[in-house]
Amino acid sequence: MNSKRRAELQRRLSMGAVPRPPAGLAERIKADIPKYLDAGPVPQRFAWGTTMRIAATLITLATTALVTMELLQTDRKGAVQNSASKYERPTPAVLRYRTQPATQTASMPPAETEVSLDIAQELPAPAPVAPPQERRAEAANVSSGLIAATEAAPMQVADATLGAAAPAPPPPPPPMVAAPASAPPPARAVAAERASSELLEELPIGRIVTQAYATELDLEQRDVFGISLDPTAFPTIRTAIESGTRPAPDSVDVEALVNYFAGAQSSRRDVGLEVEVSPAPIAAEGDVALLRFTVDTAKLAVPARASVPPVARDAHLHIDIDTNAVASFRRIGDSGTEESEEALLYNTSVTGLYELKLKPNLRSSQRIATVRLQYVSVTSGRKQTLTRVIRGGDLAETWDRASRRHRLAALGAVWSETLRGPKGGVEIAQRAEELATQNPQDSRARELAAAATLSTGGER
């Protein structure tokens, strides 16, 4: 068959009809597939996978718990076995020596006779867990008994050998060279080792500390730059006045009362400095003025019972009063101002007052005082300096022209000092009533007016 014939035959064969599958074959194949191999909709597959994950997690947790319990049981068993091994019976001592029988020739090797001697003492079975003191006492008794038995063992072996029909006594053993005695450990080391061993013996096995209780801490700042900030000063004084008793002079904290009525304000910057001067709120001899300085820090939300972080460190406050303009001055309060403060915290306000007796004919450009505050910012780490210079022109013409904060602080200072003397202060009560009337929403002004009125013996 030539190539053309073969090609023609292949062409005809390829043009033959192709058999078709019977109808419904695909449906029958799908019906024969087991239902458990069906992928199912997406929600069912997701639920199945989630169920398998949860089951695997539970199995893992259960296995971990079982393994942990088994390890703890093994540790306890080991500890009990170690404690019980101290009371096990010691291995009997075996003493060996060589003897030379009468019929033995010199060419024969010497025969070796083995004598076993049990030198252990019978000890009563101890309790599974004994107190540390009893265990140490029993161990000492066992050690002393073993030493005594070891020393007596050679004599017992010699007596037993002489009683037998042995031809000759054994040669004496070679002398033993005693080991050099080591220096005893120091007393401190022995005491420390004994204390640590006793502590380990008394600790229970497997105990876990689950709770710890902290001491109640007083996290409130009581003074800044030596100025008292006691928040309980005014409530204590008010309670005494309302009960009809006058507080003792030593119990009146003037600085704390000044800070209470001056109030706390937040600074726009990290640290702010206010300085103000005004005439005295009540008439006094001479030209008397009150100088106020207030240091405010920025406000920060702090959780309850949490420590307030610092906003500045290495703070120094210096107040320089010019004696060319001021004849005399004094700090209002009991303590002198401290120039240094290690740290200034957030949410802090501290106010101090000076009483100045000015010299006559004070010029508006003449310097009265300079207040300087230096600190290192915690945020930037840079050294900052705030300076306020008070001159004659800064002195308010009247006390009513001063700021409300300044007037409340000045009235609080004058009123608190009157509590240390005889009854009086009617003019102070009137000034406080004026402040309360001007702003009825000012709670500090209302409290000062009520306390000042009661302290004078009158009623509102």
Identify the pLDDT of residue 28. Answer: 79
3-state secondary structure of 435: helix
- Indicate the range of 96-110, 240-254, 365-379 predicted with least confidence: 96-110
Read off the pLDDT of each residue in 176-181 and give the average, rounded to a whole number: 46
- pLDDT over threshold 50, residue 214: no
Is 147 contained in some domain? no
Is 261 contained in some domain? yes
Whether the Cβ atoms of residue 415 and residue 427 lie closer than 8 Å to each other? no
Note the pLDDT tens digit of each residue in 30-76.
777 766 555 555 555 556 678 888 888 999 988 998 888 888 877 66
Note the pLDDT tens digit of each residue in 262-290.
999 999 999 999 999 999 988 777 789 99
3-state secondary structure of 449: helix
Is 325 contained in some domain? yes
For residue 359, CA distances in Å to 163, 322, 362, 366, 368 come to: 127, 11, 6, 11, 10
Q: Would you place residue 93 in the very low, low, confident or very high pLDDT band (cuts 50, 70, 90)?
A: very low
Cβ-proximal residues to 446 (8 Å cutoff; 6+ apart), any chain: 436, 440
Note the pLDDT tens digit of each residue in 137-165.
555 554 455 444 444 444 443 343 334 44
Rounded CA Rg of the chain: 50
Is 303 contained in some domain? yes
Identify the pLDDT of residue 163. Answer: 40
Prediction pTM value: 0.54
Is 52 contained in some domain? no
Please report the sign of the dihedral spanned by the C-alpha atoms of residue 81, residue 82, residue 83, residue 86: positive
Whether the Cβ atoms of residue 369 and residue 320 lie closer than 8 Å to each other? yes
| Structural domain harbouring 418 | 223-455
Average pLDDT, the chain: 75
Question: For the chain, how many structural domains are there in total?
Answer: 1
Note the pLDDT tens digit of each residue in 375-417.
999 999 999 999 999 999 999 888 889 999 999 999 999 999 9
Is 287 contained in some domain? yes
Is 105 contained in some domain? no
Identify the pLDDT of residue 194. Answer: 66
Is 252 contained in some domain? yes
- pLDDT over threshold 80, residue 20: no
Identify the pLDDT of residue 170. Answer: 55
Of residues 155 and 28, more confidently modeled: 28
Q: Would you place residue 329 in the very low, low, confident or very high pLDDT band (cuts 50, 70, 90)?
A: very high
